[in-house]
């Protein structure tokens, strides 16, 4: 029986490394599963319902899970460029590549009508957290947010501007200064609920990161972008796998923002 890596988050904010034979959560992090707590309650967002179950005595969420914070959306900057290098990635389980289910496939994201986006949470600010990810993965990232951008002639912002949904859209939880959606309590739990909804709507994929490693990368490697590498190298290369990437049609980013906003504004406590 094959095993998968636990989807839980450690106290240090990193993904749990334990392998799980059944399900997606190890015994230490199963309480982080959005459907684990609060029997008889559900969260309805965007027409979708997440049922939860609290049969028997369940441990209460930790203090970390109850902290306020921001939900933010981002992608690789290279995915927004119409030309240049960096659009190729090795990914698996994208919804539009069902013929290669569970197989690693080389994809040029710039040529697709979908955009791989990631939704994260932070108790700091989205800007600080994205900078931390850039430092770790050695790739330029772009924060995606539902407002018009400052006028800039760079190809990145020109492409990014077309993905924006316009200033007339209002989101109650959105903080235009921080470029994130504010959650007053339980931002970590809100993030997991959002992930469930986005997976139901769009599916999800995984990406091999050629710059991200648990071990410090050599200085000469700090400027590397995404590389296409041979299948034989996968087992020996020191690359991390980033999951929870959502393949969203580029014209539907407003739907992603709407789902996030509805979860963040939910009157049900994020506990």
Q: Is 18 helix (H, G, I), strand (E, B) or coil?
A: coil
Q: Is 207 helix (H, G, I), strand (E, B) or coil?
A: strand
Tokens 């980033």 label which residue?
Answer: 242
- pLDDT reading at 205 higher than 90: no
Asked if residue 35 belongs to a domain, the reply is no
Asked if residue 40 belongs to a domain, the reply is no
49 against 191, higher pLDDT: 191
Q: 267 falls in which pLDDT band (50, 70, 90)? A: low
Asked if residue 191 belongs to a domain, the reply is yes
* Beta-carbon contacts of residue 154 (< 8 Å; ≥ 6 apart): none
**Average pLDDT of the chain, as a whole number:** 69
Instruction: Give the integer Cα–Cα distance in Å for 271 and 266.
Output: 12
pLDDT of 127 reads 94
What average pLDDT does the segment 176-198 reach? 93
Asked if residue 184 belongs to a domain, the reply is yes
pLDDT of 19 reads 82
Does the pTM surpass 0.75? The reply is: no
Asked if residue 3 belongs to a domain, the reply is no
The alpha carbon of residue 172 and the mean position of all alpha carbons in its chain are separated, in whole angstroms, by 21
CB 81, CB 108: distance < 8 Å: no
Asked if residue 21 belongs to a domain, the reply is no
What average pLDDT does the segment 225-241 reach? 42
Instruction: Give the integer Cα–Cα distance in Å for 43 and 47.
Output: 10
- At 140-161, the pLDDT tens digits run 889 999 864 333 334 455 555 5
Tokens 């760079």 label which residue?
Answer: 154
Q: Which helix (H) or strand (E) holds 196?
A: helix 187-202
pLDDT of 35 reads 57
107 against 248, higher pLDDT: 248
- pLDDT reading at 117 higher than 80: yes
* CB hemisphere CA count around 111 (13 angstroms): 7
pLDDT of 33 reads 73
Burial of 187 (0-12, 13-18, 19+ CB in 10 A): buried
Q: Is 186 helix (H, G, I), strand (E, B) or coil?
A: coil
- At 70-103, the pLDDT tens digits run 999 998 887 787 655 555 566 665 655 556 666 6
Asked if residue 43 belongs to a domain, the reply is no
205 against 89, higher pLDDT: 205
What average pLDDT does the segment 18-46 reach? 62
Q: Which domain holds residue 225?
A: 59-264
* Number of structural domains the chain divides into: 1
pLDDT of 105 reads 65
Asked if residue 34 belongs to a domain, the reply is no
């Amino acid at each position: 029986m094959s095993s998968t890596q636990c989807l839980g988050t450690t106290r240090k904010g990193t993904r749990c490394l334990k392998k799980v034979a059944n399900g997606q959560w190890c015994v230490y992090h199963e309480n982080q599963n959005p459907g684990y707590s609060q029997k008889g309650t559900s969260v309805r967002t965007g027409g979708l319902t997440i049922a939860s179950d609290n049969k028997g005595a369940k441990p209460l969420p930790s203090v970390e899970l109850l902290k306020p914070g921001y939900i933010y959306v981002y992608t690789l900057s290279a995915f927004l460029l119409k030309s240049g290098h960096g659009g190729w990635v090795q990914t698996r389980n994208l919804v539009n590549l069902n013929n290669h289910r569970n197989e690693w496939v080389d994809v040029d994201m710039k040529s697709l009508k979908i955009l791989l986006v990631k939704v994260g949470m932070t108790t700091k600010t989205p800007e600080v957290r994205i900078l931390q990810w850039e430092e770790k993965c050695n790739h330029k990232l772009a924060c995606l947010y539902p407002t018009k951008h400052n006028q800039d002639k760079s190809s990145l912002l020109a492409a990014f501007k077309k993905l924006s949904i316009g200033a007339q859209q209002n989101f109650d939880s959105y903080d235009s200064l921080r470029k994130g959606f504010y959650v007053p309590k339980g931002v970590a739990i809100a993030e997991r609920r959002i992930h469930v909804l986005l997976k139901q709507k769009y599916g999800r994929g995984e990406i091999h990161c050629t710059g991200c490693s648990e071990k410090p990368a050599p200085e000469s490697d700090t400027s590397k972008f995404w590389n296409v590498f041979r299948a034989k190298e996968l087992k020996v290369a020191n690359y991390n796998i980033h999951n929870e990437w959502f393949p969203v049609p580029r014209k539907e980013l407003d739907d992603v923002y709407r789902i996030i906003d509805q979860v963040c504004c939910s009157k049900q406590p994020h506990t």
